[in-house]
Amino acid sequence: MAKSGGLTTRGPRNLLRQIREALAGGTGGAAVASAQQRLDLVVGIIARSMVAEVCSIYLRRASGELELFATEGLNPEAVHNTRLRPGEGLVGEVARLAQPVSLSNAPEHPSFSYRPETGEDPFNAFLGAPLLRGGRAIGVLVVQNRAARVYDEDELEDIQNIAMVLSETVASGGLLAEAELRDVELAPHRPERLSGQKFAEGLAVGRAVLHEAPVPPDKLLADDPVIEEQRLRKGLADLKSGIDLLLEGGQGKLNGTPYEVLETYRMFADDRGWNRSLEEAVRSGLTAEAAVDRVRNEHRARFASARDPYIRERLHDFEDLANRLLRVLMGDDPHDRQLPDDAILVARNLGPADLLEYPRSKLKGLLLEEGSPAGHAAIVARALQIPCVGRLSGLRDRLSEGDPLIVDGETGEAYLRPRPDMLTAVQSRMGVREQRRAEFDQLRDTPAITMDGTRITLLTNAGLAVDLENLDMTGAEGIGLFRTEFQFMVADELPRLTAQTALYKLVLDAAGERQVTFRTLDIGGDKILPYLEPDREENPALGRRAIRLGLDRPALLRMQLRALLAAAAGRELRVMFPMIAAVEEFRRARDLVDREIEWARRRGRNLPRTIRVGAMIECPSLLWHLDALLPLTDFVSIGTNDLMQYMFAADRTNPRVADRYDPMSPPALRALREIRQRCSDHDTPVSICGELAGKPLEAFALIALGFNRLSAPASGVGPVKRMILSADLKAARRGIEPLLASSASSVRGELETLARKLNLAV
């Protein structure tokens, strides 16, 4: 059917088919040899079909400039001679926004830029669409008319579909040869180094495996939209039933894909807006795969720059779901992922369920364009000891499948297509790490006792079911910190009492006689639960989070305490409250424990054999109120991650300030010593459960300060134990004392010198 002022009676499917034939080398039996001739043919087809007097294609150069590559209606001599600076003109505005721009009177727009060599001054109506590749504009497609007309929704839909076909064809190399591309910025091939954040330590060398399934150009256009709509519906049904099967098989199991994660994906698979967008894209003439890819790109371009953490997390959920749907449509069995033996997985962000589905034996490293050290993918990577670097801006668009890569989880860097000398250097470092790992394995069952006879208790941190395997693998003596919030963060509704009880019981069963300390919910701030109405706070790290939220919503905290008491029946229960900033907060929290104990006792419930209640020291305010707090506690644990960020007023998730201050500074060390001394005065057991406990040099400073109980990430247990076995604690204490009086902003260098002097294995 004809469209008013838009496509001719040939319709959108015929237009897309004509473009496909032109890009393939000709139409109507006439062969076209060069890429320029094909582009010229394409802009002519689009102009005639959309009744436009101008149609132009711009491509992005490596400099960021947008170059006019082909036009119908503008001055032909402007082709390859007109270049727009980043953000210049309406074309630059389309690329900047990564969204279509439609104007009836373009010269009046503040972004309009007149380029006399193009001869475009008579044209008023403007419709531009970005050529999106991975949510990033690699070019712009424009149509223009003299009349000041308004382009309708159908025309907007058409130009987006055409732009998608062009972007996929250009980026795949199916249109322009390497010589013709010159410096068009699509997929660089030179060696590059990208700096990001280290999410999980380690080194890996391998080849890029792109997590998101690409859509081949020959599968973009539908031969029969009705069939494609049926394929989409079947794909959605198969996706949902596949997740349902995993849910049925995953509940109650200790290992494998976390049950709560899968529930989240199931919820988003039913999202009406997402399903409707997919159906509309298919009905416009795209294949089911192309529809998913287009909707994913649009979501990414619209929300990728959102500052709100909740919106960003929802984008990640839809990204992961779209990837799963693409694999279903392409007949990929998620349980039979084929990887090369040296796979480096590359993704914008990654759902933990997807990461767990890849064969661990072949997955050597992980690179993420987004994410955070506290994100689910990073937590799973650390649990599986997979080197991981995140926050690598522009990563996906700089890579092709199979590119050689280096993941440097020690420095937070990624090397793309590295030079031979860099490969040699990293492989040498990996050899050293492998030797050290063998040493750590031999020390697994050796008690952590210093050379002068002081016993140090080494525990590990956990939060996932897979973390529990590390107890036996590392030789840790227990779990010093079990983060309970993960179960809540990945569920689409509040986990029921029975589900919470089952998880805590599984953790205790896995630990056996080894000690487990559960931290109650540390949510709020940037950890937003989808089923709790979020508070929009200016500074969420200092807002209503952790124990503050628990005390504001006592029913939520009491349900968790009830589950913990039930799970630990007949055993020892250790529970601690996070982010205590005032003694009264701990009194109120402990009162809730007492009330739950009384509730269970009145009903004849089997209670834990021993119940110990502790506080996490993360707020500097407690440093001057320990004498009031400690008599109320059975133990305390120092969360150095938050304590240091609050001491230095530096957000540890913000890369601009996170590394600006050093925890190995005199004020930080003196604060830690003060806590240890006050705990000793009150005979209160104290442990360290932050990241510092898993780094040999930092752990050396901690034991020199008198701490004899450390809870480290699994990857840090071996290196720290090796350090402890080589330590002369009396000499270490003598050596660190003068450093505490230093006026320097950091004594890390002095600690390293002391460690060398004492022949410490750091």
Residue 150, beta-bridge partner list: none
CA distances from 534 to 265, 444, 543, 549, 632 (A): 20, 44, 12, 11, 32
CA distances from 468 to 190, 226, 251, 254, 717 (A): 42, 49, 17, 9, 14
Q: 96 in helix, strand or coil?
A: helix
Pick the closest to residue 136 from 196, 86, 84 (CA basis).
86
Q: Are 620 and 671 in contact (CB under 8 A)?
A: yes
Q: What amino acid is encoded at 186 in this protein?
A: L
Q: What is the pLDDT of residue 114?
A: 84
- pLDDT tens digit sequence for 396-448: 767 877 889 999 998 999 999 998 888 888 988 888 888 888 888 888 899 99
Half-sphere CA count of 450, side-chain side, radius 13 A = 24
Phi, psi at residue 179, to the nearest 5°?
-65, -35
DSSP state of 45: H
What span, in angstroms and rounded, lies between the C-alpha atoms of 280 and 326?
17
**Which residues are annotated as catalytic?**
376, 689
Instruction: Report, as ranges of residue numbers, the positions in the chain whose pLDDT lies below 70.
Output: 1-13, 23-33, 62, 134-135, 171-189, 212-219, 243, 245-271, 300-320, 332-337, 351-354, 356, 374-376, 397, 464-466, 489-492, 524-541, 653-655
Q: What is the pLDDT of residue 284?
A: 83
Burial class (CB in 10 A: 0-12, 13-18, 19+), 124: middle
Half-sphere CA count of 651, side-chain side, radius 13 A = 13
What span, in angstroms and rounded, lies between the C-alpha atoms of 744 and 646?
20
Q: Which two tokens stand for residue 492?
A: 């689409």
Please state whether the predicted TM-score (pTM) of the whole model is above 0.85.
Answer: no
For the CA atoms of 647, 652, 656, 657, the dihedral, rounded to the nearest 10 degrees, stands at 10
Q: What is the pLDDT of residue 330?
A: 76
Q: What is the DSSP string of 676-742?
A: HHHHHHTT--EEE-SGGGGSHHHHHHHHHTT--EEEE-HHHHHHHHHHHHT--HHHHHHHHTGGGG-
What span, in angstroms and rounded, lies between the C-alpha atoms of 450 and 481?
24
Q: Which two tokens stand for residue 233?
A: 């519906």
Q: Are 405 and 210 in contact (CB under 8 A)?
A: no
Describe the strand order of the beta sheet including 343-347 as a list of residue ranges: 192-195, 413-416, 404-408, 203-210, 343-347, 363-368, 388-390, 197-200
What span, in angstroms and rounded, lies between the C-alpha atoms of 265 and 273?
15
Q: Which two tokens stand for residue 348?
A: 């914008």
What span, in angstroms and rounded, lies between the C-alpha atoms of 325 and 236?
7
- pLDDT tens digit sequence for 90-124: 999 999 888 899 999 999 998 898 888 888 888 99
DSSP state of 449: B
Percent over 70 (pLDDT), the chain: 80
Q: What is the DSSP string of 216-277?
A: -GGGSB-S-HHHHHHHHHHHHHHHHHHHHHHHHHHTT-SSSS-HHHHHHHHHHHT-HHHHHH
DSSP state of 643: H
Burial class (CB in 10 A: 0-12, 13-18, 19+), 554: middle
Q: What is the pLDDT of residue 337?
A: 63
Q: What is the pLDDT of residue 458?
A: 96
Residue spans of alpha helices (H) in 512-553: 547-552
Q: Are 291 and 232 in contact (CB under 8 A)?
A: yes
Q: What is the pLDDT of residue 279?
A: 86
What span, in angstroms and rounded, lies between the C-alpha atoms of 398 and 188?
5
Q: Are 670 and 719 in contact (CB under 8 A)?
A: no
Q: Are 233 and 240 in contact (CB under 8 A)?
A: no
Q: What is the pLDDT of residue 722?
A: 93
Pick the closest to residue 129 from 343, 297, 278 (CA basis).
297
CA distances from 368 to 311, 415, 450 (A): 18, 13, 39
Q: Which two tokens stand for residue 138?
A: 């690699």
What span, in angstroms and rounded, lies between the C-alpha atoms of 484 and 479?
12
Q: What is the pLDDT of residue 8?
A: 43
